[in-house]
Amino acid sequence: MSHEPPTFLHPRAVRTGLERVIEHQRVPLQETPKLAALYEEHLQTEPLELNAAQLRDFLSRESKAAQEDWIQQIFKI
Amino acid sequence: MPEQPYVKLMLQVLAQSRVEHYQNENLLQLTLWLTYRVLDINPRCAEAYLVLAYFFCLLGESDRAYRVLLHHVQAYRIPHTGIDAFLTLLSPQSSLEAVTLTPAEVSEGLPSLQDTLQRFARVPAVPFAHNVQVASPALSRLAELVKGMEA
C-alpha cells in the first residue's frame, strides 16, 4: 500500500481549503453538538487571548522567517 | 518533541477562535498556518491531523475529514484516542447509525394504522387480470427481443 500524502494534503489543496476558511462568510463554520463533544474531549485547550494588533502583525509578515520570529516572540509570553 | 510548543500554540489559537465563534478570520488563518507548520516539523503529528479534520467538519466536509484521518491511521499506524474517536463518528457506518430512527421517531408524523386501512378501503381494488392486460403488450415485446437475442 502506498503511503504518499493524499491529494487533500498537497499544498494546492491546502491553499484552496485555507482560502475557503478565510472566506468563511460564504462557507459558515458550524459546530454540531457531536463535534463539540469530540472537540472538548480531544482538543480543548485554554484560549491564548491574542489581540487584534498581534494578529495583524503576524499577518503583515510576508516571509516565513519573519512569521517564525513572531511565533518565537509568542512562545516567550 | 520539537513540534510540541507549536502544537500547544495551535490548540490555544484554535480555542480562542472557537470562543469567538470562528468569526475572526485572522485567528483562523493563524490556526491553519500553525497546523501546517506542525506538519512541516512532524508530518505524523496526530493533533495537526485532528485540527485539519475538525476544520473540514466545520466546513461541512466530513467525508474529507474522514479521509484525512484514515490516511493517518493507514500510513503511520500510530494509535491515538482522539483520531479513533473522530473516525468512529465520521465513518460511513456511523453515519448510517446516526440516521437510524427509534420506533417513536418512525411513527412521528405518519398516519395511524387505522387511517391507512381506511384510505385503502376507499381505493377501488384493481383485479390482477386487469394489470396483466395492461402489461401484456410490453411483455410480448420483451419476449420478442429476448428471442431475437437468442437466435
CA B3 and chain centroid, separation:
32
Statement: residue B4 has pLDDT above 90? yes
Statement: residue B58 has pLDDT above 80? yes
Statement: residue B17 has pLDDT above 60? yes
| Contact call for A5 and B43, based on CB within 8 A | yes
The pLDDT score that the predictor gives to residue B8 is: 95
| Contact call for B85 and A50, based on CB within 8 A | no
Burial of B20-57, coded b for 16+ CB within 10 Å and e otherwise, reads eebebbbbbbbbbbbbebbbeebeebbbbbbbbbbbbb
Q: What CA–CA distance (Å, rounded) separates B81 from B138?
A: 59
| Average pLDDT of span B64-81 | 86
| Average pLDDT of span B123-143 | 71
Which residue reads 394504522 in cell numbers? B113
| Average pLDDT of span B108-135 | 64
ipTM given for this complex: 0.82
Lowest mean pLDDT among A7-16, A30-39, A60-69: A7-16
CA closest to A52 among chain B residues: B26
Rg, Å, chain A Cα set: 16
The pLDDT score that the predictor gives to residue A43 is: 93
pLDDT per residue as tens digits for the range B74-98: 888 888 989 998 888 887 765 544 4
Which residue reads 522567517 in cell numbers? A65
Apex CA A16: angle with CA A12 and CA A22, to 5°?
140
What does the block give as the cell for B61?
466536509
- Comparing C-alpha atoms, which of B64, B32, B15, B30 is closest to residue A36? B15
What does the block give as the cell for B142?
420483451
Task: Give B100's contacts (C-beta < 8 A, 6+ positions apart).
Answer: none
Q: What CA–CA distance (Å, rounded) separates B146 from A64?
A: 70
**Number of H-type helices and E-type strands within chain A:** 4, 0
Statement: residue A66 has pLDDT above 60? yes
Q: Give the type of residue at B143.
A: A
Whether A33 contacts chain B with CB within 8 A:
no
Angle between the B25-41 and A11-22 helix axes, to the nearest 10 degrees? 160
Residues in chain A: 77
How many other CB atoms are there within 10 angstroms of residue A36's CB atom?
A: 11
Distance from CA of A33 to the nearest CA of B (A): 11
- Residues B40, A61: contact at Cβ < 8 Å? no
Whether B14 contacts chain A with CB within 8 A:
yes
Q: Which of A6, A29, A39 sits opposite B59 (nearest CB)?
A: A29
Q: How confident is the model at residue B100 (pLDDT cuts 50, 70, 90)?
A: very low
The pLDDT score that the predictor gives to residue B110 is: 57
- Residues B90, B54: contact at Cβ < 8 Å? no
| Contact call for A8 and B51, based on CB within 8 A | no
Whether A66 contacts chain B with CB within 8 A:
no
Statement: residue B113 has pLDDT above 80? no
| Contact call for B82 and A43, based on CB within 8 A | yes
| Contact call for A35 and B57, based on CB within 8 A | yes
The pLDDT score that the predictor gives to residue B116 is: 61
- Comparing C-alpha atoms, which of A11, A9, A40, A51 is closest to residue B27? A51
| Average pLDDT of span B15-29 | 89
| Average pLDDT of span B13-33 | 90
Provide, as residue numbers in chain A, all residues whose Cβ is less than 8 Å from the Cβ of B39. 9
